[in-house]
């Protein structure tokens, strides 16, 4: 079975399907007829999933780390920890700066 929808109605339907967690059109129709009970994602569940995804991306993009001089494995550094402060102090003491600042 198929149905014809104008562009605006189709866009609204697609948005509603996404809002319901990406259900199919068939599932939406069955739910509307009472033949299927859709599990609508809980607001807290959505927030937790979004926060987790954002946190993981931030870890990849912004995490502070360096390699172990002995085994070569990565050592993660927590922001504002003693290790992080020691790193900053070391870099300051040894004249680390922007390349453009060194050229001045």
Please, are residues 24 and 17 in contact by the beta-carbon 8 Å criterion? yes
Containing 66, the helix (H) or strand (E) segment is strand 64-67
pLDDT value of residue 40:
63
Q: Considering the chain, what is the average pLDDT of its residues? A: 85
Q: 99: domain range?
A: 64-104
pLDDT value of residue 58:
81
Same domain as 56, residue 8: yes
Residue whose entry in the numeric block shows the structure tokens 């929808």: 5
pLDDT value of residue 94:
93
Encode pLDDT of 6-41 as tens digits: 999 999 989 888 888 888 888 888 878 777 676 666
Q: What is the number of structural domains in the chain? A: 2
Same domain as 57, residue 25: yes
Rounded distance between C-alpha atoms, residue 43 and residue 19, angstroms: 11
Rounded distance between C-alpha atoms, residue 25 and residue 37, angstroms: 14
93-104 mean pLDDT: 89
Please, are residues 15 and 7 in contact by the beta-carbon 8 Å criterion? no
Same domain as 57, residue 10: yes
């Amino acid at each position: 079975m198929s149905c014809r929808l104008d562009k605006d109605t189709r866009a609204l339907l697609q948005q509603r399907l996404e809002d319901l967690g990406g259900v199919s059109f068939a599932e939406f129709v069955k739910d509307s007829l009472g033949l299927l009970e859709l599990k609508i994602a809980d607001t807290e569940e959505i927030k937790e999933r979004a926060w987790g995804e954002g946190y993981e991306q931030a870890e990849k993009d912004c995490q502070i780390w360096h390699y172990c001089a002995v085994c070569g494995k990565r050592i993660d550094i927590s922001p504002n920890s003693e290790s992080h402060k020691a790193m900053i102090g070391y870099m300051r003491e040894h004249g680390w700066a922007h390349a453009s600042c060194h050229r001045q």
